[in-house]
Structure 1
Amino acid sequence: MSEASFKKALVEAIPSLRAFARSLSGNRDRADDLVQETLAKAIANRERYTPGTNLKAWLITILRNQYYTEGRKRKREVADSDGDHAATLTAIPQQNGHLELTDFLSALQCLPEDQREALILIGASGFSYEEAAAMLDTRVGTVKSRVSRARARLEELMSGSPDFVRDDAAIQASTDMLNRALNA
């Protein structure tokens, strides 16, 4: 399709695009903005259009995606032209989260290997108890028991147990183990 015929087909599609945009947005001005944005994207991405396919369907897909993208953005935005809302916002320091994570990783290494392995399969890797039991070649009840004991021991260690000592080597070992579990 030549450049001229592509542009001619775009112009011919405008009434259909406007009608569709109006049905989505319910607002004439917003519909016109959507059509304008759709046409701009279509021209910018002309090489993605496959000649011989339905141009109007391609344009409507672009328009619909633009509409939903704008809707998702609008949900996160707050009208705050005078800055009142922005003045109330605060950022919580993230150091505590990092420290808690390093304590958790160190405490994870304090668990017996069978409990740690079961906990990682269920908690970090997202396997079901049945899948974990098959992988560990044991019964489902055994896996549930190991996970329960592991969680209780982690809670005890993380809440100030006197036999818990933060260990950088243990933190690194836990980090490596979790990365392998998540990437497997």
Structure 2
Amino acid sequence: MSDDAFGARMVAQMPYLRAFAISLSGSYSLADDLVQETLVKAWSHADSFQPGTNFRAWLVTILRNTYFSDYRKRSREVQDSDNVLAEQIPVKGGQEAKATMADVQNALNELPPEQREILLMIGITELSYEEAAQICNVPIGTVKSRLNRARAKLAEHLGLTTLNDIDSDPTVSDLATRMPGRVV
């Protein structure tokens, strides 16, 4: 069968396909999409049609299988056209988080060892000022000043200039929120 003849047969079946698609989906717009997808699949698999068999039945089978495949797929999906649910996802994509974490690690490596040590003790291990002072054998005031300098240098290395810059980046804000009395 030539492409023109095959195409003409498909066009002739469109009203029947559309009626069946409407009855399956209950929606005119979904039905139109379903018919279009069916015709694309039929055209791309024209060689699988057996001449002498029922052409309409073959197209209806493709339409029905496409509908149920899409239906199963849609049942696993959640409509979120206004991004309300997407905005609730606490972690950004893996690539961004890894790149940000690499930037944070590089910035931490740029800090003097005594500042980095205090920053990690208080920011990551969540030690109190008193505990950090005891471990480092320095006064609490020294811990606070090292921490303040470390935060400022970290923010400078990361190009963060305001509190909003830190709060908008989950990787950095997670580190920063664990630091009492942060000043940027």
Relative to the length of structure 1, the TM-score reads 0.46
> Which TM-score applies when normalising by structure 2?
0.46
Query: Which structure has the larger Rg?
Result: 2
* Higher RCO (C-alpha 8 Å, min separation 6): 1
